[in-house]
Amino acid sequence: MRFAKLAAPFKFAPTQVAVLTIILYAIAFGSVLIQDEPRDIPKDTLGLDVNRAFDALSKITTGPHPYISHKNDAVRNYILSRLKPLAARHDHVKISNDLTSNVTYTARGSYVVYFEGTNVLLKIDGTGPAHDGVLFSCHYDSVSSAPGATDDGIAVVTLLEMAEYLSAPERRPRRTAIFFFNNGEEDQLNGAHAFFEHPWSNLTSVFINLEGAASGGRPLVFRTTSYGPTSSLHSRLVKHPHGTVLTSEAWSTGMIRSATDYEVYARGVEGEAAGLEGFDFAFYKNRAYYHTLRDSISGMGHNGARKAIWAMLETVRGAGLTLLNDDHPGTDTTKPVYFDVLGRTLVLLPLNSLYLGNIVLLVLGPLSTIGLLVWVILTAKKRSVLAEMEAIPASHEEPRWRTVVKGLLGWERFWIALIVAILAHVGLSVGFLKLNPNIVHSHAYVVLSIFLGLSFLALVLPIQALHYILPSTFASQKLTVTLSLYFFTWTLLVMATVALSKQYGSLYWVTLFNLGAWLAAALELIRAGRRRDPGNEMGSYSFLFTSPEERQARAEGVVPGRRLVRGVRYEAPEHADENTEGHANGQPGQEESAIVETEPTEITPLIHQHRRQTEGGGEYLTVDPPENVKVVAKPADEYGWWIAQMLLLVPAVAVLLFQLEVLLLNATMHTLVDGSPPATVYFILALFSTLIFLPITPFAHKLPQSLNIVVAGILILLLAISWTVFPFSQQWPFRIYFQQFVELASPTSGLAINPTQGMQSAPVEVVRAETTITGLKGYVDRYIVPDIPSARHSDVVCDSNGLRPDLMTCTWTSDLLPSPGGTNSSLASEWLDVRPMRLNGTRAVISLRGQNTRGCRLYFDRPINFVYVHQPSDDEPLPAPAPAPSPVPFEKMHMQGGYEMPKDGVKEVRLWGRTWDKTFLVEVGWEAGGEAGDEELTGRAACEYAEYASALGGPESGRIPAYEEVKQFLPLWALPTKNADGLAEVWTKFRA
């Protein structure tokens, strides 16, 4: 009795299984969700000043500061004010205010960029050789629609703090550290390209690029080039690493369409500078605020900015010190596989090592499993032979087909449950896509709970139903399902190994899943071998190795030697006659199933007995009518084994897969408003939710129905909510893309400014001004545009093929004209000064100047294959008429290595100057297609503007009232963001 009480918690019974299942999954889910939040700032900040960093963030995020804004200059001046004192105090610290690095390159193979850099660099000389330095990179510009607290303000203050930290003589590193604050990242990574034009670029071999692709939270290792830099995150100095190779491979395969400076550093400059090894470290959560006004300190919530600063500071300090001071410079180019475990440690190993490990598991696992299975069969057969020597008559023999059918029972149910789960998730996903496809944007964790709940029920209920209707007879259900699960993971392991052979390691979790399933299956086979039988669910030995009478005897406790007589039951004598017993020397005799007739004696029962036949084919007598008697076989109790198996299967797999599911959910939940298909998010949730609960399938038949009822009730309630509520809210807003286009009538045209009222008059030079809003179809056209006053009084045209892929663009004309602002009196009333000059049949020079901007563009109606930007002695417009310069030799066109002019040419040139009101003198050439001199060069010249009143710009700042109108009249559940480099593009046609 005492043993039974002590052993009760370890019994394989419904209550115990349910309790352990709930505990394990609650710990796994809870641990992942807790570690997914930023940690509190410790008292010991390791020599870093979080409050100083927070103050710096407050100063540089007072408003948007894109490259073409005056606030951008203010942020740059603040960075210089922080770095110059460091260089003045220490001889080993040097500063570079880079106003000379210019670069020309082709971006995305479709347009040419000319960029004049305004980057800031700080160099801390190491105590060792100057080579193999470490580049710490961030960008200090923001987009025009966001203050840029996360993108990339926290990165800026992190590097400012790290520069203060490492500049101290007592912390001077072994290797040289370059702190790079680049400008123009938001406009196609321009500052990073200019880095390779700076002489300090040849001092570095490793980089850490800090980014922000969302708003706050915990930063993530977006991607890494190789094992060397990743190993710095495995250092003891990095207390809370966060990353997985899955995100890195999502970038490399093109699943993520965004871009960071990482690409430029890793690629290098062909023929001039080799690519660097390094990694991206970036914020990724709460993308709903990305590139909007809520990418701010307040947008991260109370104390959220300080926590986010510390999360980035702590990791950059640990990884940076490791790369700067470790014996190995971090240049190992081996392909890595890495993932963090609950933000406590980083598991890191070479991809080839994991590949070899998988090969071992692929071979050793099946061989050992087959060996154990053979051992179980042999021990069961041996026991069966011994049982045949017992005095138990064999009165029933089943047909072969029935034996085969029973033998298959138990092996099919795992696969049936898996198919049911897949079909259930398909149905659920279709329901979301039809009824409320965007609900995951605002109720992501409700949707996650629904998919988890459905996975649990879809896997458990079919197994329980089959166990009740068709109990397995040739092997216990736990054995058959465990072996089926192992075979499934082995199949996954084959896929993972093939992926590893192609240099993809995202399926690293399959290795642990397969290892756990292998060990669980081995334990189950060892248990069966110790019992000398694979068991079944009928309370007897396996039907494969026993006769019906033996099973009946085991189930009912029949005494060996019992005989059935007509009307009489008695115990056979020990030495019965051979003819009577039907045995000779223990060997089976003839007429084994014959019934012995006897005369009534003094032991003949006075109560009438009933003959009964068991389901197994044996016969016995009872004093009750057959209809009132049913012998129920009870399987043998199991203690402890199942606990070890569940511990092998559930915790590690649940933690790793739920980590990935939560990460991917946070990374994708807010991408639907950018045009990403909702089906992708639901596929991710269905896949990982199903995999998370597969480890409980061997124990599913023991789970109580009460647990199923509770899960089903919660599931129904959450479905009712998620399929009916509006998918966007003030907390999780919808995002729309704004841009205004203003067409001027002639190459030299202006907008008269009323100096007394600060308002534009009605200039005849304006052909039209169009406001565009781009967003999800069904929302932007139904809920957004009708509420904007200027749109209500104009003809609105909505195009499903909008300015951005998979989104709708609505366009209407407006009389809300932008104002360029500026202080240059000679251009007080001019927008653009465009002067094309023909040089010869295939060359032309275009002089382009925009008021109060430093970003312009040239669009051509035909491809050009030559671009050269002249450097005039001053910024005054060319005199009219101006003498045409001589054509520049073709070989003088210098484009950055690896980013050369495409063979088919380009139709766009983007121009970025470092000074305001700059005149760009651009010489272009094209292939001759007809008689020389007969071909015209036509196109559009445009300049970009991004300053507006509510951005709190200075007196020199411009105004974009159309953007202010959209901001003012958007519903509370929507936020605007920029569609292009400029919120307003002013353009005119030209002909040369």
Active site residues: 185
Exposed/middle/buried for residue 795 (C-beta within 10 Å: 0-12, 13-18, 19+): exposed
Per-residue 3-state assignment (H helix, E strand, C coil) for 674-698: HCCCHHHHHHHHHHHHHHHHHHHHH
* 286's tokens: 């709460």
Helix (H, G, I), strand (E, B) or coil at 157: helix
Distance CA 812, CA 740 (A): 10
Q: Per residue in 324-353, is it b (16+ CB within 10 Å) or e — as a string? A: bbeeebbbeeebbbbbbebbeebebbbbee
Distance CA 685, CA 679 (A): 10
- For residue 537, what are the CA distances in angstroms to 172, 636, 656, 702? 71, 9, 33, 12
Helix (H, G, I), strand (E, B) or coil at 788: coil
Q: Which of 282, 256, 288 is nearest to 680 (CA)?
A: 256
* 456's tokens: 């649990």
Distance CA 274, CA 203 (A): 12
Per DSSP, helices labelled H in 436-507 are 444-469, 477-501
Q: Give me the residues paired with residue 857 across strands.
A: 910, 942
Distance CA 249, CA 225 (A): 10
Exposed/middle/buried for residue 40 (C-beta within 10 Å: 0-12, 13-18, 19+): exposed
Q: Which of 944, 951, 955 is nearest to 986 (CA)?
A: 944
Per-residue 3-state assignment (H helix, E strand, C coil) for 594-646: CCCCCCCCCCCCCCCCEEEECCCCCEEEECCCHHHCCCCCCCCCCECHHHHHH
Distance CA 84, CA 94 (A): 9
Per DSSP, helices labelled H in 171-300 are 190-195, 227-231, 245-252, 262-267
Residue 749 · residue 831 · CB < 8 Å: yes
Q: Which of 438, 320, 520 is nearest to 776 (CA)?
A: 438
Residue 787 is classified by DSSP as: G
